[in-house]
Amino acid sequence: MYAQMIKSEATQDDPEKLAEFQKKIDDGIKVEPRDWMPEGYRKTLIRQIGQHAHSEIVGQLPEGNWITRAPTLERKMILLAKVQDEAGHGLYLYAAAETLGVSRDELTEMLLDGRMKYSSIFNYPTLNWADIGAVGWLVDGAAIMNQVPLQRTSYGPYSRAMIRICKEESFHQRQGYDIMMKMAQGTEAQKKMAQDALNRLWYPSLMMFGPSDKDSVHSTQNMAWKIKMNTNDELRQKFVDQTVPQAEYLGLTIPDENLTWNEDKGGYDFSDPDWTEFFDVLKGNGPCNADRMEARNKAWDDGAWVRDGLMAHAEKKRAAKTAAE
Amino acid sequence: MSKEWPLWEIFIRGQHGLSHRHVGSLHAPDAEMAIKNARDVYTRRNEGVSIWVVEANNISASSPSEKGPLFEPSESKIYRHPTFFDIPDEVGHM
Amino acid sequence: MSVDKEMLTQFLLRMGDNTLILGHRVSEWCGHAPVLEEDIALANTALDLIGQTQLWLGYAAEVMKDGKTADDIAFLRDAWDFRNLLLVELPNGDFGQTLMRQFLFDAYQSILLPRLMKSTDQTIAEIAEKASKEAAYHVERSADTVVGLGDGTEESHKHMQAALDRLWPYVGEMFISDEVDAAMAAAGVAPDPASLREEYDALIGKVFAEATLTIPDSDFAHKGGRTGATHTEHLGHLLTQMQWLQRAYPGATW
């Protein structure tokens, strides 16, 4: 998802070293920051981990949109805790990326000027309270699908960040589903909100897994390096199979006339999302791209005096301490 | 271009832990703020009691030895725990 | 000595409305803070404050005994029934103003809550004990930020001085005693607010000196929040956000 459209980076390293490196990965030994690694491996990881981190940060915004309107004190707290978790996840991931020789500020600049991306899903708006439920249920659900296997990724710091994140993620999906249950079992207006949320967020959630394998950028290298653990279609199928019964339990209708159980394959047949829309969103034409980037740029620009001020103070303290010694 | 906040590596020893474990890193202008930030970032689930911070520059390493963090549930923020939400069995694993 | 239920309710609403409105204001920063670590810290603060709100307003609901819950109290009262300080309902302004407000409030809580731990009202003592630990952490953090920015760059200093100038007229309200306070003090439930001023001035004086900030030379204090007599225009707008769902869809379960 943060790896949507990530190409395997070409590498011009010594074939013997490459083979040794590949054997290490095949044997399940983790690659650590000071180990030799192909330049392509390093570059691909920086992009994937970095975009994963950016996704967490930008992902605060669609949910943050409803914190001030959360309908009870408990929901307010739960949503605040979830958004705080997302910020924390971003931080763990930036920390992992920084072990590869890039700084967090550099990554931030690349996000803000568009050189790096974030998951397409966060370019969609949250329009009613049920969206907050749907985001937890579907978006976090899709993320979990992708993140659980990534716990076994080859790069040590990334793997450990994923383990920590996965421990916290289950609460996210469950709180989202809990909201959906309340809504689906609530008043007529609430049921309408729940169905409306599902209608709008279903296909964008499917898009999170990236284009069909047949249209995907060549990802064989990333699979061999265990940077990518499953194909897009594999994960998307698993997500659909898991989610359909959950929607049925809620009494909600997935907006797909072609959704049918396929006995032979032991899974659901379903309609593809509109891939034109997907590429449009990646290009910057999603409903919220401009808003999201504006918000992040503003936070960064408005915050410059704060970061500089606190840094200056720390330096004054350090200088005073040295002078005293 | 402004000066970036330095990077700090964070080590936490849990309530019943025997030693500090590396849990990750964060940015802060100095050590005191790094400790406060670490408390917010790495102990939100009441995971740790003792926090060490070391500026990343000051670590010399042959190869890093990082261990996973100890988790201890926080009694008051129980909704953070998946078991707080009652998801019916028919819905499947969540 | 027993306490008049009405008076006790007013006291509890004052405590709970402060944490509710301030928690709400702080939560507006989610995803917009100057640096990731601050996003997390502010969310932490907001979480602590809303948690305290549940305790204070929950107890108020118990005392009122009219079938209302803490949520009813938070989401179904109009502005004139709120009992928070004017200070906490003001818009956030920039990060400096937000942290200045936070410090001014945290300093107050860090003095009041330990006193409340000795309340003759057992429930208040228990709530205060829990909240006190959080307040101690909050004041340390907000004081550090005020000092860091006050004595940082010339620009950060300007922002903080402007923030202090803007917020100073709202500090006095924390220490104005009325008949509710007199009743609480007489029953040993809570200290008379005026009695906290000296310690407060010493605490903030120390921090502002370190921050190289000048305390405005004025005794003037805006009031009307604690009593509900005159809130600012800002509270009404805040409530249109906070209460929207409960008002638009009455009786629903969320």
Query: Is residue A12 pLDDT above 80, yes or no?
Result: no
Residue B78 has pLDDT above 60, yes or no: no
CA distance B80 to chain A (A): 6
B28–C148 C-beta distance less than 8 A? no
Q: Please answer whether residues C78 and C31 qualify as being in contact, where contact means their C-beta atoms are separated by less than 8 angstroms.
A: no
Residue B14 has pLDDT above 90, yes or no: no
- Chain B positions touching C41 (Cβ under 8 A) are 36-37, 40
Which tens digits make up the pLDDT trace of A200-250? 999 999 999 999 988 877 688 999 999 999 999 999 999 999 999 999 999
What is the pTM assigned to this prediction?
0.92
pLDDT at C1: 53
Amino acid at C221: A
Cα angle at A4 between A271 and A138, to 5 degrees?
Answer: 55
**Cross-chain CB nearest to C44 (options B5, B33, B40):** B40
For residue A32, give every residue at least 6 positions away whose Cβ sits within 8 Å of its Cβ, in sequence order, or none. Answer: A156, A157, B63, B64
Question: What integer pLDDT is reported at residue B72 of this predicted model?
Answer: 32
Cβ atoms C48, C138 nearer than 8 A = yes
Which residues of chain B are within 8 Å of residue A171 when distances are taken between CB atoms? 79-82, 84-85
pLDDT at B65: 36
Q: What are phi and psi of A72, to 5 degrees?
A: -140, 165
CB A153 within 8 A of CB A227: yes
Token pair, residue A287, equals 């409903």
Does pLDDT of A2 surpass 80? no
List all residues of chain C from 170 to 229 with a beta carbon under 8 Å from chain B. Answer: none
Contact C62, C126 (CB under 8 A): no
CA nearest to C245, candidates A175, A78, A130, A81: A130
Contacts of C141 in chain B (CB under 8 A): 36
- Facing residue for B40 by CB, picked from C35, C41, C148: C41
Indicate whether B83 pLDDT > 70.
Answer: no
Using a CB-CB distance cutoff of 8 angstroms, which residues of chain B are in contact with residue A92? 24
Q: Which residue of A has its CA nearest to C53?
A: A73
| Beta carbons of B94 and A170 less than 8 Å apart | yes
At C75, list the tokens. 């989401």
Under 8 Å between Cβ of C56 and C84: no
Residues of C in contact with B26 (CB under 8 A): 37
Q: Pick the residue from chain C with its C-alpha nearest to B26.
A: C37
d(CA B79, nearest CA chain C) in Å: 12
How big is the B-C interface in CB pairs under 8 Å?
29
Nearest CA in chain B to C143: B33
- Which has the closest alpha carbon to C40: A117, A81, A209, A229? A81
Check if the beta carbon of residue A130 is closer than 8 Å to that of residue B59. no
pLDDT of residue B81: 52
The verdict on a CB contact (< 8 Å) between A307 and C51 is no
Beta strands in chain A (DSSP E): 260-262, 267-269
CA distance A63 to A79: 8
Residues of A in contact with C38 (CB under 8 A): 306
- Cβ contacts below 8 Å, chain A against chain B, sum to 102
Percent over 70 (pLDDT), chain A: 97
Closest CB to A91 among B30, B33, B41: B41
pLDDT tens for residues A30-72?
A: 999 889 999 999 999 999 999 999 999 999 999 999 999 999 9
Mean pLDDT, chain A, rounded, equals: 94
C 52-111 residues inside an 8 A Cβ radius of B: none
Taking CB atoms and an 8 Å limit, are A73 and C74 in contact across chains? yes
For C101, half-sphere exposure in the C-beta direction (CA atoms, 13 angstrom radius) is: 26
CB contact under 8 A, C47 and A307: no
Question: What's residue B47's pLDDT?
Answer: 54
- Closest-CA distance, B88 to chain A, in angstroms, reads 9
DSSP state of A10: P
Does C35 sit within 8 Å of B36, measured CB to CB? Answer: no
**Chain B residues near residue C140 by CB distance under 8 angstroms:** 36
Residue C45 makes CB contacts below 8 A (sequence gap 6+) with C23, C26, C102, C138, C141
pLDDT of residue B2: 64
Closest Cα in chain A to B83: A171
Contact C113, C187 (CB under 8 A): no
Count of all residues that appear for chain B in the document: 94
From B73, B69, B77, B58, select the one nearest B12 (Cα to Cα). B69
- The verdict on a CB contact (< 8 Å) between C141 and B36 is yes
CA distances from C115 to C106, C178, C226 (A): 14, 18, 19
The answer to whether the CB atoms of C41 and B33 lie below 8 A apart is: no
Nearest chain C Cα to B77, which residue?
C51
- pLDDT tens digits for range A74-122: 999 999 999 999 999 999 999 999 999 999 999 999 999 999 999 999 9
Distance (Å) from the C-alpha of residue B1 to the closest C-alpha of chain C?
15
pLDDT at residue B64, as a whole number:
42
Residues from chain A contacting residue C26 (CB–CB below 8 Å): none
Q: Which residue has the tokens 């199979």?
A: A241
Interface test with C, best of B37, B46, B53 (most C CBs within 10 A): B37
C36 → closest Cβ in A87, A298, A305: A87
The answer to whether residues A301 and A24 touch, using CB atoms and an 8 Å cutoff, is no
Compute the nearest-CA separation of C87 from chain A (Å): 19
Q: Which A-chain residues 205-264 have CB contacts (< 8 A) with chain B?
A: 242, 245-246, 249
Residues of chain C with pLDDT under 50: none
> Is B61 in contact with B87 (CB distance < 8 Å)?
no
Q: Does C40 touch chain B (CB under 8 A)?
A: yes
Sequence-distant (≥ 6) Cβ neighbours of residue B86 within 8 angstroms: A178
The model's pLDDT over B27-65, given as tens digits with 9 standing for 90+, comes to 999 999 999 999 888 886 565 578 999 999 898 876 443
Give dist(CA A152, CA A143) in Å, integer. 15
C44·B36 Cβ contact <8 A: no
ipTM above 0.90, yes or no: yes
Q: What is the mean pLDDT of chain B?
A: 74
A316 near B CB under 8 A: no
